[in-house]
Chains A and B, each alone.
Chain A
């Protein structure tokens, strides 16, 4: 039984290691300027985690195999170095590697989160609500009009609660159900939720950030590849959670200009 168990551990270990060695884990393509740092970090962690995983499982299997078949009268032995060796190993190997990984990993995080958005970034406001995203563009004046929550009215398509008749800044605001952004240009995303917690997740963009009711949050990123991607909600927000999504179109600058003009005409 012990040997059978040891073999099972080895088989499972090898089967699990194959995708790591073949590098076949199915991360979506990266279409952002900051994503490469995150992917590198993931790859390094995968390498280190993969090695630790394989070595420790194989040692476990080997010890089970070897030490379950002792002869009568044989004496038990102590691991050379004893507990001290283990404590040193944990501090040196795991401590330094993990901390090094952590410190370098922070760089990827800091690149995105500790820097302000560019002054000329495209401003987009995203609003999450049960179970749809809406987006607002400030129009030619570059200013968003204020939001009046009591005026939100889905039947009237006033998703944001904008008062276009009275607020000057609102007059040219453009509200859409789909998000479009120009390629290779920084986007400054201003996020708020109208009801419960939601999240903005575009796997290809390497961006995930919760919408927190009561907080105005923001993010900035640059998309580098033209295409159509899905924005999904990752915070449990109610029965429609699984189906809460919108599309993100990354367009060339001229297509983007046309798109925003067309949307403005539709308001």
Chain B
């Protein structure tokens, strides 16, 4: 399982210079923190952009002070132009989906904790790992640069549907350089995640310490492992798609553009491409991507809940099998984004069935979590609150998916705010809650200090109420036929909805302010928090058995932990404490699966 000589060589490489230690580090823990830092910045930028959108939607003609400095042409006098609204929306979505939801729960926490939780000193390909971060970061910079280049970012949404995205500047503002920068950024992002996924998979399969069988891996490792398999296949589809899109743009190819298109009275030179091809490629990536965003959150939440409940989940294996089933099914359902896209109506029915079937593993996961709560000795803290909040959000968002899974109902709800409400709850808020839960839970390990619990609880309760106030009414707007990606409401039937939009805007601003509590807590605790005990939550997995917090460069101080137990052994009959560390040599009569 592991090669001791190789590891000794690794330990000898401990870097000493600042640059080798903190910038171009090969240490998976530093890389994890770098990912986390990037995701944090991205999340606040994304949130700020959502404020701009929401203010504009509530009070369309109001000037937003200072916005003119961001873009003179985009917001003359502080009032957004329609194109600038769409550009901001596109950037909000792209930043959130790629640079927050994929990086924080997967790349950040995964890099930091996966090797420790399997008992390894590092990942097998540390140079790939370093590259994975820096390539991703370059992608982020390229994406952000589009705010300051030419006529600004693309306005095509995070889905970048062709041919709007493929024909270039004739299609309107932002469709020139903006699209090329977007596709470059996402292409780089894909490369970064492919490298990261490879590392995760090999670490899980090859670097486990003595006694760490597959079934002794904690939920988090299983979730990251399954996610990296999805990442490997999904990003491998999006990357070439982005390359083709750039070729259409710059080299005059026509992968996604059919013949006979007329823009401004000019017949376009393209011919022979297919509009739907882009949609198929995009959603074959895009649907697994939704699960890439949420599966790590499920792993983190399961991990935290077992610790907070002082009991294991009802079944380790059923949980893991359900996560695996989600991953497999996630490819077969991608067509539910395309029910009314003009593909053959029979395909819509065909795609509807796996979409309905995927509710079964999702329901099993929710029921296992709920059922495990029964008879628990629940410890309430910021981490467990966010984990419980995750369950609530996942239920609500999942249920609204019921509607969208049926093509006949989707005729009414497609491309309305109903969809926006659904995916914000199920993948936006739920995944964010997973990130917050993980942060409060692991902060003591990552920085050796505790976060402030009072601030954490205030942050939680405001975010929980706020998220419902923002995203529940979205469903209502959708049922009324409020189309998404609108910057104002010129249609008569939308006029009565404006007060509701204003309510949502106020809720969004208050909820956003609550996120500043988190930021303050993070920075304050990093420097002045109470020193953390070795195992503050009395948890069982290997990250809590490192010699220090944060762990030393080689994680376990040059030795390898030996694993004797299942990962989540709490309240075991006859044990000396209410939890048994995986490394504990104590023999117990209780069930041990491996």
Contact A242 B409 (CB under 8 A): no
Which of A19, A57, A235, A240 meets B392, CB within 8 Å? A57
* B476 and A26 contact, CB distance less than 8 A: yes
In Å, the complex CA distance between A203 and B476 comes to: 14
Identify which of residues 344-365 in chain B touch chain A, using a CB-to-CB cut-off of 8 Å: 345-346, 348-349, 352-353, 356-357, 359-361, 363-364
Point out the residues of chain B lying under 8 angstroms from A243, CB to CB.
82, 488, 490
Q: Name A108's closest neighbour in chain B (CB-CB).
A: B408
Q: Could you tell me the distance between the alpha carbons of A79 and B376 in the complex, rounded to whole angstroms?
A: 10
Question: Contact partner of B275 among A197, A234, A237, A241, CB < 8 A?
Answer: A197
CB of A234 within 8 A of CB of B483, answer yes
**Taking A83-B318, A210-B341 as contacts, is the C-beta distance between A105 and B406 under 8 angstroms?**
yes
Nearest B-chain residue to A42, judged by Cβ: B409
Number of interface residues of B (CB under 8 A): 107
Chain A nearest CB from B7 CB (Å) reads 37
- Assess whether A212 is in contact with B275, with CB atoms less than 8 Å apart: yes
Tell me, in angstroms, the Cα distance from A67 to B81 when the chains sit together: 52
A116 CB to nearest chain B CB (Å)? 12
Considering only residues 546-585 of chain B, those with a C-beta below 8 Å from chain A are 570-571
User: Is B412 within 8 A of A38, CB to CB?
Assistant: yes
Chain B min CB distance to A93 (Å): 8
Provide the residues of chain B in CB contact with A209, threshold 8 Å.
340, 342
A78 proximity list for chain B (CB < 8 A): 311, 314, 374-375
B304 → chain A closest CB, angstroms: 14
The answer to whether B372 and A94 have CB atoms under 8 Å apart is no
| Contact indicator B82/A242 (Cβ below 8 Å) | yes
Q: A67 and B353 in contact (CB under 8 A), knowing A53-B395, A197-B275, A245-B491?
A: no
Q: Is the CB of A41 within 8 A of B409?
A: yes
A256: interface (CB < 8 Å): no
Chain A residues with CB under 8 Å of B157's CB are 236
Docked complex Cα distance between A79 and B311 (Å)? 11
Known: A45-B402, A57-B392. A38 touches B161 (CB 8 A): no
Q: Are A196 and B408 in contact (CB under 8 A)?
A: no
| Complex: A110 Cα to B346 Cα, angstroms | 9
User: Are B468 and A12 closer than 8 Å at their CB atoms?
Assistant: yes
Q: Which B403-422 residues sit within 8 Å CB-CB of chain A?
A: 403, 405-409, 411-412, 414-416
Question: Would you call B481 an interface residue if the criterion is a C-beta within 8 Å of the partner chain's C-beta atoms?
Answer: yes
Residues of B within 8 A of A56 (CB): 366, 370, 395
Whether B375 and A195, one on each chain, are in contact in the complex, defined by CB atoms closer than 8 angstroms, is no
Q: Could you say which residues of chain B place their CB within 8 Å of the CB of A64? A: 373, 378, 388
Q: Is A118 on the interface with B (CB-CB < 8 A)?
A: no
Binds B, one of A165-173, A177-185, A213-221, A259-267: A213-221
A231 vs chain B, min Cβ distance (A)? 10
- Does A37 belong to the interface (CB within 8 Å)? yes
List A residues 117-167 near B (Cβ within 8 Å). 129-130, 149-150, 152-155, 161
A49 near B402 (CB under 8 angstroms)? yes
Provide the bound-state CA to CA distance between A28 and B164, in Å.
Answer: 30
State whether A242 and B163 are in contact (beta carbons under 8 Å apart), knowing that A49-B399, A67-B377, A209-B340 are contacts in the complex: no
Residue B233 CB within 8 A of the other chain: no
- B483 neighbours in A (Cβ, 8 Å): 201, 232-234, 242
A194 to B171, CA, bound (A): 12
Kindly state whether residue B452 has any CB partner on chain A within 8 Å: no
The total number of A-B Cβ pairs within 8 Å is 310
The one of B349, B364, B479 in contact with A27, judged by C-beta atoms closer than 8 angstroms, is B479
Q: Which residues of B contact A238 (CB under 8 A)?
A: 83, 155, 164, 171-172
Contact with A along B442-474 (1 / 0, CB 8 A): 000000000000000100010011001000100
B341 to chain A, nearest CB (A): 5
List A contacts of B258 (CB < 8 A). 213-215
Least distance between A71 CB and chain B CB atoms (Å): 9
A-contact bits for B477-499, CB 8 A (1 contact / 0 none): 00111011111111111001000
Measured CB to CB, the nearest residue on chain A to B342 is A212
Contact indicator B392/A212 (Cβ below 8 Å): no
B167: chain A residues within 8 A (beta carbon): 196
On whether the beta carbons of B403 and A42 are closer than 8 Å, the reply is yes
Cα A212 to Cα B375 in complex, Å, equals 55
CB distance from A72 to the nearest CB of B (A): 10
Q: Report B-chain residues with C-beta under 8 Å of the C-beta of A48.
A: 402
Residue A188, interface by CB 8 Å: no
- CB-based contact B261/A195 at 8 Å: yes
Bound CA–CA A245/B488 (angstroms): 13
Most chain-B Cβ atoms within 10 A of its Cβ — which of A28, A49, A60, A83?
A83
A106 interface hit (Cβ, 8 Å): yes
A8–B361 Cα distance when bound, in Å, is: 28
Answer whether residue A227 sits at the interface, using C-beta atoms and an 8 A cutoff.
Answer: no
Q: Distance in Å from the Cβ of A120 to the closest Cβ of chain B?
A: 23
Which residues of chain A are near B464, meaning CB under 8 Å?
Answer: 5, 8
Q: List which A233-255 residues lie within 8 A (CB) of chain B.
A: 233-243, 245
Once bound together, how far apart are the Cα atoms of A44 and B370, in whole Å? 25
A242 touches B488 (CB 8 A): yes
Is B391 at the interface (CB under 8 A from chain A)?
Answer: yes
Q: Is the CB of B375 within 8 A of A235?
A: no
Contacts of B359 in A (CB 8 A): 94, 98
Contacts of B496 in A (CB 8 A): 26
Q: Closest residue of chain B to A65, judged by CB?
A: B378
Contact A5 B388 (CB under 8 A): yes
Q: Does B156 contact A (CB under 8 A)?
A: yes
From B273, B342, B346, B415, give the contact of A234 (CB < 8 A): B415
| A77 CA / B415 CA spacing, docked (Å) | 46
Instruction: Say how far B577's CB is from chain A's closest CB, in angstroms.
Output: 14
Contact in complex: A9, B392 (CB < 8 Å):
yes
Residues of A within 8 A of B353 (CB): 99, 102
Among A26, A37, A130, A150, which residue has its beta carbon within 8 angstroms of that of B479?
A26
A98, B356: Cα distance in complex, Å = 6
Q: With A48-B402, A74-B377, A76-B376 in contact, is A60–B364 under 8 Å at CB?
A: no
Stretch from B180-188, B262-270, B524-532 forming part of the interface with A: B262-270
- B385 at interface by CB-CB < 8 Å: yes
Q: Does B173 contact A (CB under 8 A)?
A: yes
Please name the residue on chain A nearest to B402 by beta carbon: A49
B310 and A76: CB pair below 8 A? yes
The reply on B371 being an interface residue by CB < 8 A is: yes
Q: Chain B residue with minimal CB distance to A19?
A: B476
What is the CB-to-nearest-CB distance from A50 to chain B, in angstroms, rounded to a whole number?
A: 9
Give the docked Cα–Cα distance between A48 and B570 (Å).
37
- For A4, list chain B residues within 8 Å (CB): 461
CA distance A101 to B314 in the complex (A): 29
Bound state CA distance, A203 and B497, in angstroms?
A: 15
CB-CB under 8 A from B156, the residues of chain A are 236
7 A-B pairs with least C-beta separation? A214-B258, A77-B375, A83-B315, A113-B345, A203-B481, A108-B408, A239-B83
Given contacts A16-B396, A38-B408, A67-B378, 19 further A-B contacts (CB under 8 A): A16-B472, A49-B400, A60-B388, A60-B392, A67-B373, A67-B374, A70-B377, A93-B363, A98-B405, A99-B356, A105-B407, A109-B349, A130-B172, A149-B260, A215-B276, A215-B342, A236-B161, A238-B155, A238-B171
Q: What residues of chain A have their CB less than 8 Å away from a CB belonging to chain B?
A: 1-2, 4-5, 8-9, 12, 16, 19, 25-28, 37-38, 41-42, 45-46, 48-49, 52-53, 56-57, 59-60, 63-64, 67-68, 70, 74-79, 82-83, 85-87, 89-91, 93-95, 98-99, 101-102, 105-106, 108-110, 113-114, 129-130, 149-150, 152-155, 161, 194-197, 199, 201, 203, 206-215, 217, 230, 232-243, 245
9 contacts between A and B (CB under 8 A): A2-B380, A63-B374, A77-B375, A78-B375, A108-B408, A195-B163, A196-B171, A238-B171, A239-B172
